[in-house]
Amino acid sequence: MNIRTKLHPAIPRVICPRCGTTMRLAGIEPDDIGRGEVTVFDCDCGFEYRMSASVREEERRVRAAEERAYAVAD
């Protein structure tokens, strides 16, 4: 089985901007404001890349919930 098929589809392959190789997924951490997650990649050359991909999705969920609440209040 190809190992790549086991990776989460939401996690993209990231190419290191410094050395051009595929970066390793180092982990997923909560972001600074606690609203989402930061996906952390690192590379053998020492470059670290942090991607807060889920923050936007979380904001969309919150906004949709608020819109529903207003609709009920009407």
Residues that bind Zn ion (CB under 5 A): 16, 18-19, 43, 45, 47
For Zn ion, which is the closer residue by CB, 37 or 41?
A: 41
**Smallest gap from residue 13 Cβ to Zn ion (A):** 14
The answer to whether 10 touches 53, Cβ cutoff 8 Å, is yes
**Smallest gap from residue 41 Cβ to Zn ion (A):** 10
For Zn ion, which is the closer residue by CB, 47 or 51?
A: 47
Tell me how crowded residue 16 is: count the other CB atoms within 10 A of its CB: 19
Q: Is 60 left (phi over 0), alpha (psi -120 to 50) or beta?
A: alpha
